[in-house]
Each structure stands twice: as structure tokens, then as C-alpha cells.
Structure 1
Amino acid sequence: MKKIVWLLILVAPLLLKGWYVDNFIYHYTGTRLLGFTQVLFNDAVIYGGILILLYLSLLPTMMRWLAALLRLAALLLFAVYIIDYAIIVNFNTHLALGDAIKYADYSYKYIQQIYGLSDFGVLALTVLVLAVPLYFSWVRFKSINPYVKKWPIFLILGLPLAAAFADNEKYAHAWIYKNVIDYNLTILSEAAPYSTAYVDAFSFQEHINCQTQPAQTKNVIILMVESLSAYQSRYFSGIHDWTPNLDAIARQHQAFNNFYANGFITEDGEVALLTGLQPLYPPSSYTDDGGTSFYSFYNIKDSLPNILKQQGYKTEFLTTADLEFGNTGVWAKSIGFDYMEGHDQPEYDKWERFHFEAAPDEALYLRALARVDNNKNNKFLLFIKTVSSHHPYINPENKEKSESAAITYTDKQLGRFYNQLQDRGFFNNGILLIVGDHHSMTPLKKAEVELYGQYNASAKVPLVIADGDQPASVESNQYQQIDVFNSLQGLAVGKQCYSDWKGVLFGEAKTPPKYIIHRRGDNRDMVSIFGENEEFLVKLDGDNTRVTSRLPAEQTVRQLLVDKINALRIARAKWALTQSAETSD
């Protein structure tokens, strides 16, 4: 009986992952067992490694201390497998080494927040978690006699051979059934450096058009809503009806129903909206800060806060999240914000806390209204970052745990905030931009893929611009987050510029970009580029960066796309070196 229990514990994560991936694949292909069999083929290497380590630890000639180390190694590999599965299910991506390093310093706080644990609780949980593997590693088990039971070793050694049946190139979403080791090896090309010879010989010129226009001094609120996605809105997609208030606002103002996030995480949205730079990071290693948040995007002089400050604006950054997470507070200050608030604002002390120690969105909007009132005699930029719709989903009012419940709450508070701005007369001389930071970190819905396509769907977020001077309209041309920065910059300085890679959202120069770049979260070594009528995938690989999509296109177009990506990443690498030199001085 014990053997059966141990066997079930061992294979349970494999079976659960196989079942989950099979359902994931079935949504797109209508084919059963494709995902399940590919999980078995890919993960046979992992399970083969676990079983070999366990088998060797039970050999009668094995020294006890070495047997303990072998079992600990097997348990560590098993734990990594389970964590990877949990991340796939919850965040629609794999466990990446870069992420593990990047968020390691905040993981302690995050565990406390999610499970409501005190320091003592975390300590007790840690002791419990460590005690089990330590006991398992050191306790004496009945040894395997390899001369009597030879068949297990042949079976175990045969497992890695199953990997020969893995097909990781045929299917667009093959990333999901790759094993965690293969996935991390594949995305290593993202860190491949450009050679000095390549950089010295490289040049890229982007044709930029500019025209003057009357400068305007309207107050600006950018409301970046966590995980707000097009599929959640009946107005923007027709798929779900979770955002009736957002939809009502969209009908009354300027709605952009073909709008894209430039990245897949919150900091990507912040970089795009507030600096106008594509959130593409330079090739880097973890030893040169390449694994840190906002790497190469600190101290941007031509940021939106700095530009508006030159025009006499006061600039403020508000969130209920912990500003230490991802070093957000330090970054926001470095790009010029005059004032910042996070979870430790005293007014939030009376509110219940949720993930990232954040008070609910209702509390955030009350603070935002207070800041609007405080700045009634100033020109101001107010950047608001919400949290309540972040995974794991929970409605702060009724504690219902589901995505629909969390988004419904988020939409309710958003609608209330909009109405309170109306009551204050904000729109007499103010613009409110409501935008998602990125697509929700959940698997794509079948309806999304059918509506937008498998690559476009992962980047679709709503944008609504509420401006009292502009009539209601619907814009179907493609736009992106960096166009928000570009348009607000032009509005403030009276000079509006645009190119094939950046557009203008409003005014006489209103122009959609010809190409939109999206940093992918599933395949980290890939970048999506959305053209007006076609889409491309670019593989990040240093000097060998290339277009991999099979779509027909002229060679000049393909070279243009590669050159643009390389230009962006080389520029960030040079900026990072400059900042590093200034810091060391």
C-alpha cells in the first residue's frame, strides 16, 4: 500500500500537467491526447533523472551521506517540476531562471501576503517544508539489490529515450509542453550578446515625421488597470460582460478597439506608457543586473513626468501596491515623478490588505480624488496603478475568488471613480486615459484566439480616452501603449511626431503605427511584431537575431524588422553601460 501511495505522489504532478496541457491544446486544435503525449515525451527526461537519483540512493553499496545527497537532488528536481507546473497554470508561462532571480528578494513578502503569515508562520512553514525532505533523505530504506531487481534500471534509463518523440517545433504553443530545463535552455538566446564588430558596423535610420500644433495644458490622469484585457469586455470583444462601467465610458468617449500592450508584465506597461520606449531589454547576464526590474530604463530624461514638469506640471505616481516590489518606487523617482504613494500610505491603514500588501481599488481611488483636489490650482499628471485585479483573483467586497468576480469589482470602482471626476468638473480641462497594463496572465481563451489570432490575442488590452472636448468615436486602426506617451508629449509641447513604429492617438496628426512590437511572455526569446495585415515572430539571438515566422514577406521587410529590434536592444545596452559608468564614478 505504501508503494502505491508513493507512486501516486510521484506521478500526480505529471498527470495533472498532462491533463492541463491537453485541455489547453484542445482549445486551439480540437485534438485530444496531443498535449498529454507531448508532456509525457518531454518530461520523461525530468522523471528519468528523478528516478535514477532515487535508484542510485538505494543501492546497498551507497554510502549513507551520498545517498542522502542523491535523494535531496531528486527532491529538488521534483520540487522544481511542481513549481513549474503551478506557474504554467497560474501565470501562463514557465518557471524561468531569470524570474526566479529577479523576484527572489520579494518572494518572502509575497508568501506572507498571499497566505497571511507572520514571520513566525513563515519560519514554521519553512521548518516543516525542510523537515520532510531531510527526513526522507536520511532515513534508511530497504536497499535495492541490483542483481535481483535489474529491470527497474533498464526502465528508468529508457525514459529519457522517450524525448526522441517530442515535437517542439511543429505547434505554435509548443512552449507549454516543453520541460522546464528545455524551456530555459531555449530562451537563453535572449541573453546572447551582440559582438563588438556587429555593433560597430550596425546602423539604423528611422524616418520620423513631425508637425507643429497648438500646445495644450490639460490635466492628465493615466489609469493603468491591472490585467485589464479586451476579452473581459463585451464592448471591446463580445466575449465576456464583466466591465459594464468601462463599456459605458467607452461608448461616451474615444474607444480604441484594436489596441496592444507592448509587453506582458506590469513594468513593461509602465515603461511603455511613461517613457515611450519599447520594453525590450538588452542582452544581459544576471551578474550585470540583467535580472533586475526596469534594467536599462532608469533615469530616462525624456520621460513623460520630466517633459510635463518642463511645462509646469506637477507629476504624481499613485498605487496601493508595495513600491519596493520590482524596485518600482526607485524607478518612478528616477524618471522624474515629484510625488509617490504606495501601500504604506497612512490612509490605507484602516483598509483590509490583499496581495502586495495592497488596499483595495476603492481606497486607491479615494486617495486619487484627494490628490486631484489637492492639485486643483496646479497643472498635473497623475499616474494611477491599480492592484485589485491582480492574480490570485479575489473580490475584496465579498471575498469571491474568481477572475470574473475580481474584474467585476475592479470595473465597479473604476465606474465610480469616473463619475466622481465628472462631479468635480475634471473633464472641463482634463483627460482621463484608461488602459490595461498587459493581457491577464491566464491561458488564452478559445474565443480570443478565434477573434484575434493566437499571437495578437496575448497583447490585446482596452484603451479609452475621456476628453471633454472630443466627441464619442471608435478607432479600429491599430495602436499601442507607447503611442499614449507619444501623443501626450506632442499635446504638451506642441510638436507631434510619428513614424512607422509609433503613432498618434488624437489631434490633426492622428496616425496609427505601421508596426507594433510586443514582448512575449510565453516564449521569452521571441518578439511579436504586428503589421497592418500580417504578423511576424522575431527570435532574439544577438548577431543572429532573425524573423522565424513562415509568413511570406519581402526580404527588405524582414531585414527592417530585425534591424529595428537590434537597434532598440543595442541602444538599451549602451544606456545600461552609461548608467553603470556614472554609478561607479
Structure 2
Amino acid sequence: MAKRLGVFVFLLAPLLLKGLFVDSFIYEYTGTPWLGWARVLANDAVVYAALLALLYLSCWPGMRRPISALLRLSALALFTVYWIDYLVIANFDTHLALGDAIKYAGYSHKYLQQIYGLPDWALWAIALPVLAAIAALVSLPYRLPAERSRILPLFAIAGLPLISGFTDNDVYAHAWIYKNVFDYNLTIRSEASAYSPAFIRDFRHEEAQTCLAEPAQRKNIVILMVESLSAYQSRYFSGIRDWTPELDAIAANHLAFRNFYANGFITEDGEIALLTGLPPVYSPSSYSDGGSASFAGFYGVEQALPKRLKAHGYRSEFLTSADLEFGNTGTWAKSIGFDYIEGHDHPDYAHWDRYHFRAAPDEALYLRALDRIAKAANQPLLLFIKTVSTHHPYVDPETKQKSEEAAFRYADKQLGRFVRQLEDRHFFRNGLLLVVGDHHSMTPLKKEEAAHFGHYKASAKVPLLVVSGNGHADEDRQFQQTDVFNTLQGMVDGRQCRSDWQGVLWGEHAAPPRFIAHRRGDNRDKVSVFSEDGDYLIKLDGDDTRLGSDGVDPGLSRLLVGKINALRLARLNWLAKSAETSN
């Protein structure tokens, strides 16, 4: 009896944990107790029905051993996927998606080692008992009890799918969180829907652009992209948390953009937007390139900032303390024209502790940045810095405290020290430092965020501040990461251009874009579009890509959908040309 109870609790553990997490998440927004539990149970009942049915049939008297083993392996695979999905939801505020599983599979064991500090032998020490338990589950001859005791579990298994009739998944803005992993992946699969040859042939999209001359400037440029830096962590940028006093003090004395948005939800999205000026809206999903979709369609972008500035005599450098192999970051950075690329394997990091992605802490990275700036004193410099210390799961490299607040207070302290060191070296006499978040932290939205910014905008809200010798100003109009690229290349060219989708951050022709596109991390099949007049959701579905909002002017709808289709088709065209070249 005790064994059966133990097995029952083990099987229900991820369902109970997911229900607890989702109920807490939803209660923050709705104030309705048990709603999350009810929705999780309704959505996951069919998954558990399948799991229990596989186990039930595998124990049926007279079942041949190979078939029984296959049924149990299938149940184990289903159970494992369910566990992983729960862990992804709880840790990264998104579901386990097929594309992510393919993309990150090759690096997952390294990530686990880095998070928990596990050597190779420790992974084997964990894996061997797990494998032994799997072998026992598959091979041992479990059998159902007497005939009169078999009917009750059969009724329970048959009745579970009936509960799924109460899912009601369309009444809540964050309904994605309580969908089961399979329903979620079926929902977002429209992102991979291909465009038909006829649609591609007939597609037209025009976008007007206005360009105005202004005095060119050849300043040294440092773009500091801070991992997971979000508006809610800063009192100055949101009033919600007070974890970044150094950042806030700097913002209070320089140019602070308090209504600024990331164009995507992962680090690669931020890099693409900041350095190429292109919204990170990908072509219909493709899991080629060795199983990785990182930067797919964005390699070798001719308009990239390093290439544009090289024509004006700039040297460009890409600096991070992370592993450049992750996501093919090093290869991508080289393809867009960086002259010098440095990652975790630089000798100066040899005596530092390592954390996520084999990275030394931010303090070590800033020392490397100061060294590179000093060595480029005789040539205009574009330096892109990517930090890691605030990557999830959060840990303070100094105190080893594992909390989001501790990690960001550490990063904030190191950032303040870095800015003071730049000031001491008179960098700002002819230099700009842009501090920007790569994306919203991969944590559930805070209730205050949703109330302050709205459900959709909150997930894209990040700070931007520009440190220079030009004094303080607050900018409250809407801007985005791609405007960083647009403004910097225009500043050096002496010609600032803007359009409905491109803004100019500062200068005599400063103006916000009319629209901002944001690639969503919760609903992968949707792109958010923000404007001063309203927020819109565009459903990605090949030829049938469409606006998800009712009552929108048809002309505006065509404009928004046309832009998203144009972005995706441009990346698709690049991939096709790249394939032709490689062949």
C-alpha cells in the first residue's frame, strides 16, 4: 500500500506544483482563489489520462514484455516532458517549445553544470541512478490487482478527458500559462506556417522614410547591454522596486528614456535589434543550422552597425565574459563585421569564479572593457559589452546569495563603479555610453507592472540611459532598441532618418517611431505592436497572418500586417540566398 501511495504522489507531483505556481500567478492579477488550479486541471487532464492509460495498459495481464516496456517508456517520456515544461514555466515564464528544445538541447548539460557547479563525474553520479530507476520501471513485471479492483482506475482514466471541456482558455490575457505543453505547441505552430509561392510573388509593401542632415559626430561609442535589466527593478524607471540605486543616480544626471521597449524576449533578439536595426521577427520557423535557430536569417547583415561605422574609420569590438559558442554568438558577431570578439576564454578571466555560460562576473568584464577602451585611444571605437551576472537563475557573485534582488544589486554596484572609472579617465569628453536591457527578465510579470504599463507592454519594458557630457533630460515618448542603431549610424553619417517604424533618440531631429514591434516570449505565434494610440497583436500564420484585434481600421490593419510580413519575408529571402551560396 505504501509503495502504491508513493508512486501516486510521485506521479501527481508536477501537476500539484504547476497548479500551485499558476494559481499564485493568476491570483496576483485576478484575486480569484483556485482559478489557476481549476484551469491547470482542466487543461492537463487529457495529458494525465494518456499517462495513466499507458501505465495501466502496460500492467495488463498477459501483455507481452516488449509491448509493456514500450508503453512504460512512452509514459516515462510523457512524464518527463511534463516535468520539464513545469520547470521552464516556473523559471523562465514561458512554456517548453519545440524550437527551444532543439535549440538548447546541445548546451543544456553545460548549463546545468554551470548553474550548480557540477563536474562531469557528478552528472554521471546523478544519471546512473536515474537510468537504473528507468530500467526497473520498464523491466519489472508489475501487474494489475484482481479483476474486481481494475474497474475503478479504468473509470477514472476514461473520465479525465471530460474535464478538458472546462478549459475556457480565451477569457484571460495570460491563458498561455495554464495550457498544457502539447496544446501550447499546437497553438504556436502557426508561427512555422510557410508563405505560399503565390503570396511571396505578389507581396508588396512600401514604407516612407524621411532623412534630414545634421552635423556628423565621431564620438567613441560604448553600448552596454545588461542581462535581463528591466524597468520594474528601478525606482527611477518604474517606481516598483529599488534595486538599482547606482543606475538611478546616473539616470538622474543624464539622458533617461523612461518609456523604452525591447524588440524581443531573449538576448539574441536584443543583439539583433541594437546592432542591425532590424526587429527580431524571424521567418517561418526553421530548425536547421545544426539544430539551432539562433540569429537565423540575420547573419552577415550589410547594414549592421560595425560595418556602417567601419566606413568612417571606426574599430568595432564585441566583449562578453560568456561562452561565445552558445547560440553561435561569436560566429554571428564576426559575420556582422566586428573587428575583435572576446568571450569567456580570455586569459584575464583565468582566476575568476565562473557562473552561467562559463562567465566570469561583471566586475571582471568591466576591467576587460576598460583595458580595451584604453588600447583604442587613437581610433574611434564602437564597443559592445554584453553582461551575464544577472542571468537567471540569479546569484550574487560576491555573497553567493541566490536571489534576483541580490544579483541586480551586485550588477548595479559594478555598473556604477564602471561609470565612475570612465569619468576618471575622461571618456565622456568625446564618448557616449548607452546602458540598455536586452529583454525583460524571464520571470512572471509583477502585479504592479501590469497595472502600471499594461499586460503586453510590461513584458517589453526595459531602461535606456545615455551617459555623456550633455546634462540631464527625461524622455517619456515611446522608443525601442532598433532606434539605438538608427540614431548611432545617423549620428556618425550626419544624416538622420526616421519612418513609422524608426525613431531618432536625440539631436535636433529627435522623434519617436509611430509603431514598435515586439516578439513575444509567452505566445510565440504573436507579435505585439505598440503605438501611442493603442496596442495590437498580430497572429503569425503564413499567408493568413492577421491582426488579432477587432474594430481596427482596415487601412491600419493592412499597414501593421504588411510590415510584419515584410520583415519575415526579408529574412526568408536571406535564408534562400544563403542556401544558394553555400551550394
TM-score range relative to shorter protein: over 0.9
Structure 2 residue identity aligned to 1:188: R
Mapped partners of 1:130, 1:509: distance in 2: 64
SS at match of 2:217: coil
How many residue pairs are counted as aligned between the two chains?
A: 582
Structure 2 residue identity aligned to 1:535: D
Partner of 1:442: 443
Partner of 2:478: 478
Partner of 1:271: 272
SS at match of 2:517: strand
Partner of 1:494: 494
Partner of 2:457: 456
> Which 10-residue stretch deviates more, 277-286 or 250-259?
277-286
Mapped partners of 1:179, 1:195: distance in 2: 30
Partner of 2:144: 143
Deviation at 1:122, TM superposition (A): 2.2
Mapped partners of 1:476, 1:307: distance in 2: 29
Q: Output aligned runs, 1:301-380, within 5 Å.
A: 301-380=302-381
Mapped partners of 1:571, 1:558: distance in 2: 20
Mapped partners of 1:162, 1:18: distance in 2: 15
Deviation at 1:145, TM superposition (A): 4.5
Mapped partners of 1:213, 1:128: distance in 2: 68
Question: Residues 383-417 of structure 1, C-alpha deviation per residue, up to 9 Å, x if partnerless?
Answer: 00000000010000000100000000000000000
Partner of 1:79: 80
Partner of 2:93: 92
Mapped partners of 2:72, 2:459: distance in 1: 40
Partner of 2:531: 531
Mapped partners of 1:146, 1:199: distance in 2: 62
8 Å CA contact retained: 1:190, 1:283 = yes
Partner of 2:556: 557
8 Å CA contact retained: 1:537, 1:549 = yes
8 Å CA contact retained: 1:59, 1:146 = no
Q: Output aligned runs, 1:18-33, within 5 Å.
A: 18-33=19-34
Partner of 1:243: 244
Structure 2 residue identity aligned to 1:503: G
RMSD value, Cα: 1.2
8 Å CA contact retained: 1:431, 1:467 = yes
Mapped partners of 2:69, 2:515: distance in 1: 56
Mapped partners of 2:22, 2:88: distance in 1: 13
> Which 10-residue stretch deviates more, 135-144 or 56-65?
135-144
For structure 1, list consecutive stretches of 5 or more residues without a partner in the other structure. Answer: none
8 Å CA contact retained: 2:432, 2:466 = yes
Change (3 A) 1:290 1:121: closer
8 Å CA contact retained: 2:247, 2:412 = yes
Partner of 2:541: 541
Deviation at 1:127, TM superposition (A): 2.0
Question: Residues 418-465 of structure 1, C-alpha deviation per residue, up to 9 Å, x if partnerless?
Answer: 000000000000000000000000000000000000000000000000
Question: Residues 232-287 of structure 1, C-alpha deviation per residue, up to 9 Å, x if partnerless?
Answer: 00000000000000001101100000000000000000000000001000013324
Mapped partners of 1:28, 1:121: distance in 2: 41
Mapped partners of 2:437, 2:385: distance in 1: 11
Mapped partners of 2:86, 2:382: distance in 1: 41
Mapped partners of 2:279, 2:347: distance in 1: 35
Q: Output aligned runs, 1:159-178, within 5 Å.
A: 159-178=160-179
Deviation at 1:202, TM superposition (A): 0.8
Q: TM-score, normalised by structure 1?
A: 0.98
SS at match of 1:455: helix
Structure 2 residue identity aligned to 1:577: A
Mapped partners of 1:387, 1:423: distance in 2: 25
Change (3 A) 1:56 1:289: same
For structure 2, list consecutive stretches of 5 or more residues without a partner in the other structure. Answer: none
8 Å CA contact retained: 2:102, 2:291 = no
Change (3 A) 1:91 1:148: closer
Partner of 1:580: 579
Mapped partners of 1:127, 1:221: distance in 2: 48
SS at match of 1:171: coil
Mapped partners of 1:437, 1:290: distance in 2: 24
Mapped partners of 1:536, 1:146: distance in 2: 58
> Which 10-residue stretch deviates more, 66-75 or 317-326?
66-75
Mapped partners of 2:333, 2:476: distance in 1: 32
Deviation at 1:123, TM superposition (A): 2.6
8 Å CA contact retained: 1:289, 1:295 = no
Deviation at 1:288, TM superposition (A): 6.9
Q: TM-score, normalised by structure 2?
A: 0.98
Question: Residues 548-584 of structure 1, C-alpha deviation per residue, up to 9 Å, x if partnerless?
Answer: 124x421111111111100110111001111111122
8 Å CA contact retained: 1:496, 1:509 = yes
Deviation at 1:510, TM superposition (A): 0.3
1:207 matched to 2:208: yes
SS at match of 1:283: coil
8 Å CA contact retained: 2:144, 2:150 = no
Change (3 A) 1:290 1:542: farther
Aligned-pair identity in percent equals 60
Deviation at 1:133, TM superposition (A): 1.3
Mapped partners of 1:285, 1:61: distance in 2: 45
Structure 1 residue identity aligned to 2:371: A
Partner of 2:193: 192
8 Å CA contact retained: 2:60, 2:143 = no
SS at match of 2:221: strand
Change (3 A) 1:357 1:323: same
8 Å CA contact retained: 1:72, 1:134 = no
8 Å CA contact retained: 2:222, 2:434 = yes
Structure 2 residue identity aligned to 1:480: Q
SS at match of 1:222: strand
Q: Output aligned runs, 1:29-108, within 5 Å.
A: 29-108=30-109
Mapped partners of 1:288, 1:375: distance in 2: 35
